[in-house]
Structure 1
Amino acid sequence: MRVSTAFSQQVSLNAMLAQQASLAKTQLQLSTGMKNLTPADDPAAATRVLDLQETIAKTGQFQDNIGTARGRLNIEEAALDTSENVLFRAKELTIQSLNAPLTANDRLAIKQEVDQLLQELVGVANTKNANGEFIFSGDLSGVPAFAVNPDTGRYVYQGGQQQRVLQIAPERQVADGDLGFNVFQNNGSVSQSGDAGVNGVAIDKRSVFDTLQTLSEALGSQFDIPEARLTGSRFTRFGMDYSAAPTSFTLTGDASTESINLSANFTSLDAVVTAINSQITPGSELQAQKNGNRIEFVSLTEGAASSVQITAVSGSFLTDFGFNSGDVATGANLGGVLTGSETINLPTSYSSNPAVFDVVAESGAVATVTLSSNHATMAALAADIQAQLTAAGLTDIEVDTSANPITFKSISTGSASSVQIKQVSGSFLSDAGFVTGQASRLFDVTANDVLTDLDTALDSLLKARTSVGARLKALDDQEAQNSQFVVDSQTTLSVTQDLDFAEAISRFNIQQTALQAAQQTFTRVQNLSLFSFL
């Protein structure tokens, strides 16, 4: 086979260039520290590297979220701790206010501190995080959690309905705060105002702000008589559109009925309330108002006689705003409550042994009650006593017609009220379990209810703090798990993409030697010519 000079030189040149390319690649690997310089070098490894890098980046974001959630929960923990201190002080003041020797001026001094505690607690409930977001407002973090309702003067929750959550792992989320509604507002209550009900069931709920406001008012000898309130259960902050499908319903109070028709696009809850009130007859006891992010209908009549009922006529208003057709709310009376400690044996036998006792009202008016007949039922006994109280002008004293032990209640019209019972003759007081001179004042009842409700509010705060602590522990555990996962992933990534420098340097030296040999060979081959021997 004949080999031309040109071919021989080209073969040598190609060999030298191949060695240069190999050496250049190895040199580039050494300079970058990467095993594969392009995806074409190892497509499977390139895909694996991208997956690992994405996973590590996501886990890094999870770690950032954990830090953010921890900071927000620490702020909430501090807020809850401050709230507990406020309520403990409120309890001390409530107990102090029940001290009999205190004068009206003494109670007014206590009232001033209670008012300051109320403002402090509202400020705590509207605490912001480092980003200026309200931590107890849920998914409406740009809105203060609590604000005064201008219609009632009471604090209402106006935050969101959902807790905000942060992703801390691929399949795990943690709430970075609690809803103020659950922490401060939706607390159980034994207060008489909680006796106001819906569909015959007592509400038995009030916010801790209402509890402190009630205490403040009572210290000033003022009492807010509960009226009927029918509140929707749906979040309707942003209104409703009835332009395409009008809706209508009726509102029935204790003295009037109003027909309401809505057929426009209402862009806010305020607009809905305004439209409804514009259709209510002036002077009616019925009124629509906003309760945070929900609508409510109230009767301006106070006490147990107050009622409001909603009935669907057409359209979807009741469903949209969280009512059922026929829902009815009722108010409640406030007053001193005097209950015997013994169950009265029926039938009574006062025909042979009459009993006489005095009932004294807050005004000092006295009614002398004489029991001189037998009573087969508690209703009959209560009716006999009630008739004599009414005849004596004590219309603000009410006898429960079904309770046994028997109960006397003074009915307040917004000011102090009390009821006292005194023995004259006979056995009624001992039969019912009363002590002569025993009395019940509305203030005492209110203050004792406040004490119980403050304990309930403290339990709510304790539950929230327990939940916060559990979430902080979960963050610590997940952070450690994420850190280990990142280390493991980075190890796998290093094995996949990082260069083995010892092997690469050895290879570089070999390739460098091979290149030098190729270059020397090329020089020798290039000098092979017959002309050199002529």
Structure 2
Amino acid sequence: MRISTSMIYDKGVNSLQQQWGDLLKTQQQLSTGRRVLTPAEDPIAAARALEVGQSKGVNTQFMTNIGYADDAMKMFESTLTGVGDILHYSRERAVQAGNGAMTQTDLNYIASDMKSQFEALVALANTKDGMGDYLFAGYRAQTQPYTGNLAGISYEGDQGERTIQVSASRYMPVSLPGSEVFDRTLAIDEQSVLLYGNADNGGSETLAVSAVDPLAARQATRYQISYSQPDPALPGTYSIERLGQDSKDVPWTDAELEQMWPATPPATGFVVPDGYTLSADRKTITYTPDPTAAPPLPYQISVDGLTIALPSDPEPVPLDAPQEARTVKDEVADGDRFEIFVPSTNLLNNVAMFAGALERPGASGVNGVVAFALQTMDAGQENVLKVRAQIGSQMTETQNLANLGSDLNLQYAEVISGLMDVDYVEAISRLTQQQTYLQAAQQSFMKVSNMSLFNYI
């Protein structure tokens, strides 16, 4: 094989460039800390590192979402704690109102305090988060969920729960509809509708709520029922009036009367049934049960979805004897008064109703008001505690997910490091070796390039 001078120079330059290239690659590995600088150097490791890196990125986003969810849960917990504190304080004030030494002036002071607590509860129900979204509005995050006043509160949100993904298979709720906290505190049924008689009633029996239609019942309403029977030998008459949650008189509307006493089709409107009469201002309904009517009128009143059983009240014996001397006593006496409390499923309305009833106690006096307040506030407190338990469970879950996410990130980082990171000890040794190779190549090239006959001419 013939070796030319140009070949010697070409081979020498190529060798030097190769040595410089190897040295540069090792230097880049040391400076970046990466063994694989391009996918071509190790396609399998590069592909695996890309896959693990994507998983790590998704896990990092989940951890960010977990932080958002945890912040939301903490705001819920703080808000619900405030609601519970107000209900606890209101219950204490209700017990205080039951003290027999309280005058009406004292009750008015407590009522004013309860109105302030009502406003505080409404403010908590309309709490916003750091993004300006309402906590208890459901999907309608930009709509104020609760509007109204002491005369009535209405819910403007929906039943949705906004969620955020905190793991591959878990969507964490970060909002609650107000109905879950404030609107479903109790059911409207025979147990929740309370009936009380006046302390001065002379009859031996009382009324009873025998059936409740929860769809037709008018929530947050008090009914005042009085009995009139001037002649104990004749049927007596029951008068019914109703008060709203602000304790103002509430007349019956056409729509309510049509629902309660619908006319027979094709006629429209309403027809007052036998035994009932309606006052001109529609504030009073009277009912006279008459066993001599054909057919006999039943001893019960049906009004606003409530069926109220009445004492049969037979003729007393002897007729002219006082109540305590009769062998057959008056079951209900002339002037007897009763009061029915129909609560609201919404605890805000119940607090407002408590305040109004303190200012204007009905036939049952303060005792009925206090019993109503204790029942509804206990139900509201129980519901708040149930929701707080749910929030606490979610906070525990977010903490566990955060710990798991941190562990996963460490595992992903270890896998990527094993695939991509350089071994500094090996790389430094190799760099030293390559420097030696480069120096040898440079020296040998200098020797070869100096081998010329021109040096001897």
Could you state the TM-score of these two structures normalised by the residue count of structure 2?
0.67
Matched, 1:518 2:441: yes
| Cross-structure match for 2:22 | 22
1:227/1:304 contact within 8 Å kept: no
Q: Which amino acid aligns with 2:157?
A: G
2:49/2:416 contact within 8 Å kept: yes
- Aligned-residue CA RMSD (Å): 4.6
Give the unaligned 5+ runs of structure 2: 196-210, 223-242, 271-280, 287-301, 340-359
Residue from 176, 180, 183 that aligns with 2:181:
183
Deviation at 1:22, TM superposition (A): 0.9
Q: Tell me, in whole angstroms, the C-alpha distance in 2 between the residues paired with 1:497 and 1:486.
A: 16
| Cross-structure match for 1:63 | 63
Q: Tell me, in whole angstroms, the C-alpha distance in 2 between the residues paired with 1:512 and 1:258.
A: 107
Query: What per-residue deviation string (whole Å, max 9, x for no partner) do you get for residues 73-98 of structure 1?
Result: 22221211121121122222223333
Q: Tell me, in whole angstroms, the C-alpha distance in 2 between the residues paired with 1:183 and 1:165.
A: 17
| Cross-structure match for 2:165 | 167
1:225/1:302 contact within 8 Å kept: yes
1:136/1:177 contact within 8 Å kept: yes
Residue from 201, 208, 214 that aligns with 1:202:
214
Q: Tell me, in whole angstroms, the C-alpha distance in 1 between the residues paired with 2:139 and 2:397.
A: 22
Deviation at 1:449, TM superposition (A): 2.6
Deviation at 1:170, TM superposition (A): 2.0
Query: What per-residue deviation string (whole Å, max 9, x for no partner) do you get for residues 210-237 of structure 1?
Result: 599xxxx89986466898999xxxxxxx
**How do 1:217-366 and structure 2 match up within 5 A?**
222=248, 254=261, 331-332=304-305, 354=317
2:217/2:304 contact within 8 Å kept: no
Q: Tell me, in whole angstroms, the C-alpha distance in 2 between the residues paired with 1:128 and 1:490.
A: 38
| Cross-structure match for 1:484 | 407
Q: Tell me, in whole angstroms, the C-alpha distance in 2 between the residues paired with 1:126 and 1:90.
A: 20
Change in CA separation of 1:200 and 1:454 when aligned onto 2, cut-off 3 Å:
closer
Could you state the TM-score of these two structures normalised by the residue count of structure 1?
0.58
User: Number of matched residues?
Assistant: 372
Q: Which amino acid aligns with 1:24?
A: L
Change in CA separation of 1:79 and 1:417 when aligned onto 2, cut-off 3 Å:
closer
Q: Tell me, in whole angstroms, the C-alpha distance in 2 between the residues paired with 1:171 and 1:464.
A: 23
Amino-acid identity (%): 27
Query: What per-residue deviation string (whole Å, max 9, x for no partner) do you get for residues 369-398 of structure 1?
Result: 9969xxxxxxxxxxx979xx8xx7x79889
Deviation at 1:148, TM superposition (A): 1.3
* More contact order relative to length (CA 8 Å, sep ≥ 6): 2
2:163/2:173 contact within 8 Å kept: yes
Higher strand share: 1
| Cross-structure match for 2:431 | 508
Change in CA separation of 1:204 and 1:462 when aligned onto 2, cut-off 3 Å:
farther
Helix, strand or coil: the match of 1:155?
strand
1:193/1:332 contact within 8 Å kept: no
Deviation at 1:8, TM superposition (A): 2.5
Query: What per-residue deviation string (whole Å, max 9, x for no partner) do you get for residues 480-530 of structure 1?
Result: 111111111111111111111111111111111111111222222223334
| Cross-structure match for 1:473 | 396
1:228/1:331 contact within 8 Å kept: no
1:91/1:454 contact within 8 Å kept: yes
| Cross-structure match for 1:156 | 154
**How do 1:446-465 and structure 2 match up within 5 A?**
446-465=369-388
2:160/2:176 contact within 8 Å kept: no
Q: Which amino acid aligns with 2:170?
A: R
Query: What per-residue deviation string (whole Å, max 9, x for no partner) do you get for residues 148-179 of structure 1?
Result: 18xx9411222232222222222222222432
Q: Tell me, in whole angstroms, the C-alpha distance in 2 between the residues paired with 1:494 and 1:359.
A: 100
Change in CA separation of 1:219 and 1:181 when aligned onto 2, cut-off 3 Å:
closer
Query: What per-residue deviation string (whole Å, max 9, x for no partner) do you get for residues 393-429 of structure 1?
Result: x79889xxxxxxxxxxxxxxxx8654xxxxxxxxxxx
